[in-house]
Structure 1
């Protein structure tokens, strides 16, 4: 009977070392060895008894863990930061596994972010074709019209990049202060996407929060607090990612 062989990037991702996409970059950059030899082919498959080393660190499969963090503003959505700023992993000193964030929230954006060592799980949630709702609430300087919000749903080009919202809605306005609270739903998560979209229309974002990720909310959590996802929540997220293929 032949041994169960899997793609090298999947093995690295499942070890909790990094995401599958980053694992592919590491392979192509020649930073991965299999049985002592550098491997750069993404199609390479390895068996359970082969020795995989990434950046000099042997890969071992970890038990998958899943955490939900209410990220405060002023925190980097990364495992580490070369400028010494606080990162999302700093909130998990008790976690021994090598967890990393699923996607990202900008430095000045607060709200929900998932951290895990399950690469396949992370990849399925991040891919926009799976249609996972990410619900944001933004405070704007200025009050956009319904027509302008509709333009964001159709999509606009900003700095040569096409940016699109799934849904937009004005929650409240303050005519005296000239501000508005707007809800926006995304399926993708491009760099500073919401801020760039509103700024392109002349409405700078003064505050931004991700209030919901799929069915997960900030209920019961304060900024900086976290909890483990329940097995049922993990199961439902995987189900949502597999069913919602646009």
Structure 2
């Protein structure tokens, strides 16, 4: 079994993060550091991450939707001592990791699971799964700016793909707007609005694909329904 899949199925982290850990020298196999991303784990291999042995234990898959509050990060730990979303799901008897990310100052829908294969699929760029955000931005969003956002803008060496943009309310000094993107570049929505001259003041993710946050309270989570899980697996 490929190393990143082995780590993901052990419920440690996603395949992508497993590749990062491997490349940075955090993974040992049979006592030796392995940086080969394509390494195939064989029967009898002892795999360690940061000095801790991991084993393939059959786990019951867990899928949840969390309404992430402001002031939390999506990493499993933080060297700066900031709060992580793990604290909000600590009562679940499974090692969960976030599918994708939301930055410290962004709230809203975050999917979490111990299913590494599904997490890998949902975060892979080839799968065009739209994420819907609701933002309050400074200034006026003119038709010209909206057209630029819809057609793609340069956010620093990267031109975004076409987006769906809808102004919900335009006030004198700010606007509330809904934007749908399927890419997941770091702070992408904030950078997109900055590229047209509007600063994001508040940002919330309200949907991923056909899954909606609805009335889920901030800081709370719920388990996904069988129908929702099936939808994600078939995206």
The equivalent of 2:49 in structure 1 is: 54
RMSD of aligned C-alpha atoms? 1.7
1:77-226 matched pairs, under 5 angstroms: 77-174=74-171, 177-226=172-221
The equivalent of 1:35 in structure 2 is: 30
Deviation sequence 1:20-54 (CA, Å, 0-9, x none): 11211222333222233332222221235432222
Decide whether the 8 Å contact of 1:75 with 1:85 is kept in 2. Answer: yes
| Structure 1 residues 226 and 96, CA gap change in structure 2 (3 angstroms) | same
**What SS does the corresponding residue of 1:207 show, helix, strand or coil?**
strand
The equivalent of 1:67 in structure 2 is: 64
Deviation sequence 1:104-134 (CA, Å, 0-9, x none): 1111111100111222111111123211110
CA distance in 1, matches of 2:192, 2:170: 19
Q: TM-score, normalised by structure 2?
A: 0.92
Decide whether the 8 Å contact of 1:140 with 1:204 is kept in 2. Answer: yes
**What SS does the corresponding residue of 1:153 show, helix, strand or coil?**
helix
**What SS does the corresponding residue of 1:237 show, helix, strand or coil?**
helix
Q: TM-score, normalised by structure 1?
A: 0.88
Once the 2 structures are TM-superposed, how far is the Cα of residue 165 of structure 1 from its aligned partner? 4.3
Once the 2 structures are TM-superposed, how far is the Cα of residue 56 of structure 1 from its aligned partner? 1.6
**What SS does the corresponding residue of 2:233 show, helix, strand or coil?**
helix
Q: Which of 227, 234, 241 is the matching residue for 2:222?
A: 227
Deviation sequence 1:73-124 (CA, Å, 0-9, x none): 1211211122222111110111232211111111111110011122211111
Deviation sequence 1:132-188 (CA, Å, 0-9, x none): 1100111111121222112112211123232344211111212xx322111100101
**How many residues matched?**
233
Decide whether the 8 Å contact of 1:127 with 1:188 is kept in 2. Answer: no
The equivalent of 1:19 in structure 2 is: 14
CA distance in 2, matches of 1:60, 1:97: 14
Unaligned runs of 5+ in 1: 1-5, 241-246
**What SS does the corresponding residue of 1:140 show, helix, strand or coil?**
strand
CA distance in 2, matches of 1:67, 1:154: 33
